[in-house]
Structure 1
Amino acid sequence: MAGEGGGQRPDAAAQGWFERARRWCLRARGTPGYERHTLLLVLKSTLAATLSWVVSYYVLDAPSPAFAPFSAVLIMQVTVYQSVLQSLRYLAAVAAGVAMVAALGFLGGPDLLTFALVALVGLSIGRWPALGAQGSQVATAAFFAFSTYAAATTATEKVTQLGQILLLVLIGCGIGVVVNVTVAPPMRYRSAEYGIRSLSTALGELVSDMYPVLREGELDEERCRQWRRRAEQTGGLITQAREGFRTAEESLYFNPRRLLRRHRGRASFDGYGAVAAALERSLYQVASLTRSLHQWHEGEGDRHDDRAFLLGYADFLESLAQIAQVLGGLDEDSLAEQSRQLCHLADEAQGRCRDVTGTADRAGLPLADPARPYGVLVVESTRLMEEFQHACDVLQRHVGQEA
């Protein structure tokens, strides 16, 4: 029986929590996705923090040992490159904060006015763009350093305590970087693949909805409006794909795993980058196509649609949907087979693209009339085919380089 307030029984709630945790762990163990990356990051951060605590507390017997593990966790990033970059910025921020406290403290003493001046200068330095996300650490380090400075009784102790803060931060950053480099260094090839998959899936789903309507001759304003809206909403996917590609590319820098054969480095990302760029341009071209169709149906007047032309265009879009489907399952481990399949599909699409242009010429369609969509359809079919052919050629060259 459920609780009187309609709430879930405690044992049922606990069972549901354990079941969700079990599924999460199974996903982390089974596939190299978000769950596994998160688990690795947590375990590596724990290891780095523990090692830093051992060095700062047991070896150095520092009065403020927490600086080291805090620094180690702070710079544990998703890529080795980011760990190195953020550790350098963090060290610079802490050094600026500590040096400022030392200078102002010895000039003005540990009083309230000096603290206010420390806060003002620290927050101002933190706005320096070169420090990036670590800019706020200037003021944070300055506040901790000021409290340490104020608690010290002699000038020698003050200098020693401030220097020890820098040493602990250096130890934490060093251990964090070493752990990130040596313990399962993150290699985010899949981020590039995921970006390509999201773009190709969005493109494939859109043209898959379009070609049956064109084939059946059921084109109407409402459908065109929906297609245009969907095409215009792909900007977020493009941004995410670019970010995923950037993360994947960064994962190469300073990463020892790039020496392994399956991770050849620049060739992979040159290929993936070219494919992603081609898909981005294709989405923009499909958006132009949907705008033309929508504006056409917003107008008035008789429309003498050429049935053969629309049928041929539907066949062309269907061939693009098939290519997008293959790209949507892009996997480096199966790239050779996928490349051959893409080349075959690209040849078919090329033939259908030529049929579209030939049909338009034979029918004498008003390609130069801006009020009719035929000219835009012909132009965009050629451009779309060029982009997809380029993507297929790039992948084929990449496979040849990896062979």
Structure 2
Amino acid sequence: MARSARRALSSPGPERDTAVQALKAAAAALIAWALAGWWWKAPMAMLAPWTAIFLVQSTVYRSLKSALQQFVVVVMGTLLAAGAGVLTGDTMLAMAIALPATMLFGSYARFGTQGLNAPTAALFVLVYGTYSGFDIIHRFLETLLGAVIGIAVNALVLPPVHSRSVRHLRGRLPQESAALLHAVADGLGDGAYSRDDAQAWHDRARRLTDRVTDLRTARRWSQESYRFNPGHRLRRSAPLPPAADWDFTWDRITHHAEAITRTLAEAGRDRTVLPGPAPRILAELLGAAGDLCGLDDPLDGSDPADDDTDEARRRSRERHEALRRAYAAQDELTSLFRERGDASQDALAAVTADTIRLLADLSTIAGQGPNEANSADA
């Protein structure tokens, strides 16, 4: 706990986000109690801060959705409990009728976690024994007051924006992909890789595809945090999450890497399956592809061809050179595949096809096409 507190105070991150939301929920509850209990002196003033606390959600959209869900279940729980109380005139019998009904009603999937508020609202009615129309209307008004306060505090006071995870994952994915491709290239270039090495590469490639899945989840979370969020422009500057097109390209790149390493893992059972110069050529190709991955700038949403700074021109030259080397190796690998006519064809064909697709997508993120990459050889 002490470590989390230090992180919350020292730098932005999940710990600080959690602390801010907790303090906002407490503030919303205090405001709701001040209005409902101290100023209005409502008969069931507790419902206002109780509602406000639970509606300071992780996103403004979720606060609005939860408010609607909670209001519906509170209304139904209150009405069912009041009806059971009036019908039986006995608290125990009323609970025996109302609680099963409200539990079943609240278990409807569309109500989510707010469904439990239906039996809770029924218990409030039956324990306090207030069934009159005046009391019921007050319950609804106090719940509505707490909902409005909770939503307003969440939307206008440091509204939650979750784009940090997107930027973090987008920064890690190219670097981890580069590290994997370089590791495979080094192993193939040394000529001493084993079946276990190839299987380890394949396992790393599969984890890369999991990174893309995590990125998609983080992007959905980020997009949700901007929905119905009128106050996000009022908080300290938080850059918008990068465009989603990059994600789709890297989804394909990681799957190509997985396919290549799977072929190598299968070929590792018999080293003659990738014969002659094939491992050396593939090592050159994957090494250049790894350089391309490492040169990708995931936090820059601009077109590489449109940036005119010295750093951008340097990176563009390095991308072009890496693409040139990669396509030169690809041409050599394709020629080897066409020349071979033995049992190596199956594995060599698979690797050749996968590397062609890999370089096509890497050309996209580099802002160049195959023709541009090959033009330097002319």
After superposition, where does 1:249-328 map in structure 2 within 5 Å?
249-257=223-231, 271-299=242-270, 301=272, 303-306=274-277, 308-323=280-295, 326-327=297-298
| SS, match of residue 219 in structure 1 | coil
- 1:85 alignment partner in structure 2: 65
| SS, match of residue 192 in structure 2 | coil
1:359 to 332, 340, 351: 332
- Whole-Å separation in 2 of the counterparts to 1:128 and 1:21: 36
The alpha carbon displacement at 1:339 in A equals 7.0
| SS, match of residue 233 in structure 1 | helix
- Whole-Å separation in 2 of the counterparts to 1:344 and 1:160: 76
2:162 to 188, 196, 199: 188
- Whole-Å separation in 2 of the counterparts to 1:341 and 1:135: 57
- 1:216 alignment partner in structure 2: 190
- Whole-Å separation in 2 of the counterparts to 1:311 and 1:258: 48
| SS, match of residue 243 in structure 2 | helix
- 1:13 alignment partner in structure 2: none
After superposition, where does 1:329-344 map in structure 2 within 5 Å?
330=299, 343-344=316-317
Q: Deviations over 1:22-61 (max 9, x none)?
A: 732442xxx4321321222122112111101101210121
- Closer, same or farther: CA 38–214 of 1 in aligned 2, 3 Å: same
The one-letter code sitting in structure 1 at the alignment partner of 2:332 is T
After superposition, where does 1:384-399 map in structure 2 within 5 Å?
384-393=358-367
- Whole-Å separation in 2 of the counterparts to 1:212 and 1:244: 33
1:101 to 78, 81, 103: 81
Any conservation in 2 of the 1:356–1:378 contact (CA below 8 Å)?
Answer: no
After superposition, where does 1:115-134 map in structure 2 within 5 Å?
115-134=95-114
Which ranges of structure 2 fall in alignment gaps of 5 or more residues? 369-378
- Closer, same or farther: CA 358–201 of 1 in aligned 2, 3 Å: closer
The one-letter code sitting in structure 2 at the alignment partner of 1:318 is G
The alpha carbon displacement at 1:365 in A equals 5.1
Q: CA RMSD in A?
A: 3.3
The alpha carbon displacement at 1:343 in A equals 4.8
The one-letter code sitting in structure 1 at the alignment partner of 2:261 is T
Question: Mean alpha-carbon deviation: is it higher for 41-50 or for 100-109?
Answer: 100-109
Any conservation in 1 of the 2:173–2:211 contact (CA below 8 Å)?
Answer: yes
- 2:376 alignment partner in structure 1: none
- Whole-Å separation in 2 of the counterparts to 1:341 and 1:108: 82
- Whole-Å separation in 2 of the counterparts to 1:371 and 1:343: 36
- Whole-Å separation in 2 of the counterparts to 1:50 and 1:120: 33
- 2:93 alignment partner in structure 1: 113
- 2:29 alignment partner in structure 1: 49
- Whole-Å separation in 2 of the counterparts to 1:123 and 1:370: 65
- Whole-Å separation in 2 of the counterparts to 1:235 and 1:116: 52
Q: Deviations over 1:108-138 (max 9, x none)?
A: 3334333122111111111222212212222
Q: Deviations over 1:177-209 (max 9, x none)?
A: 111111111222223212323433432332232
Q: Deviations over 1:50-93 (max 9, x none)?
A: 10110121012134322211211111112211111111111112
2:360 is aligned with 1:380: no
- Closer, same or farther: CA 372–139 of 1 in aligned 2, 3 Å: same
The alpha carbon displacement at 1:391 in A equals 4.0
Q: Which TM-score applies when normalising by structure 1?
A: 0.78
Q: What percent identity do the matched residue pairs reach?
A: 23
Which ranges of structure 1 fall in alignment gaps of 5 or more residues? 1-16, 395-403
- 1:14 alignment partner in structure 2: none
Any conservation in 1 of the 2:275–2:344 contact (CA below 8 Å)?
Answer: no
- 2:39 alignment partner in structure 1: 59
The one-letter code sitting in structure 1 at the alignment partner of 2:154 is N
| SS, match of residue 373 in structure 1 | helix
Any conservation in 2 of the 1:366–1:375 contact (CA below 8 Å)?
Answer: no
- Whole-Å separation in 2 of the counterparts to 1:131 and 1:52: 24
The alpha carbon displacement at 1:264 in A equals 11
- Closer, same or farther: CA 264–222 of 1 in aligned 2, 3 Å: closer
The one-letter code sitting in structure 1 at the alignment partner of 2:245 is A
Count the aligned residue pairs. Answer: 361
- 1:74 alignment partner in structure 2: 54
The alpha carbon displacement at 1:257 in A equals 4.7
- Whole-Å separation in 2 of the counterparts to 1:339 and 1:82: 40
| SS, match of residue 251 in structure 1 | helix
2:109 is aligned with 1:136: no
Q: Deviations over 1:115-173 (max 9, x none)?
A: 1221111111112222122122222222222223xx23xx6xx3222222222211111
- Closer, same or farther: CA 215–259 of 1 in aligned 2, 3 Å: same
The alpha carbon displacement at 1:345 in A equals 4.8
- Whole-Å separation in 2 of the counterparts to 1:176 and 1:313: 56
- Whole-Å separation in 2 of the counterparts to 1:344 and 1:288: 29
- Whole-Å separation in 2 of the counterparts to 1:136 and 1:339: 55
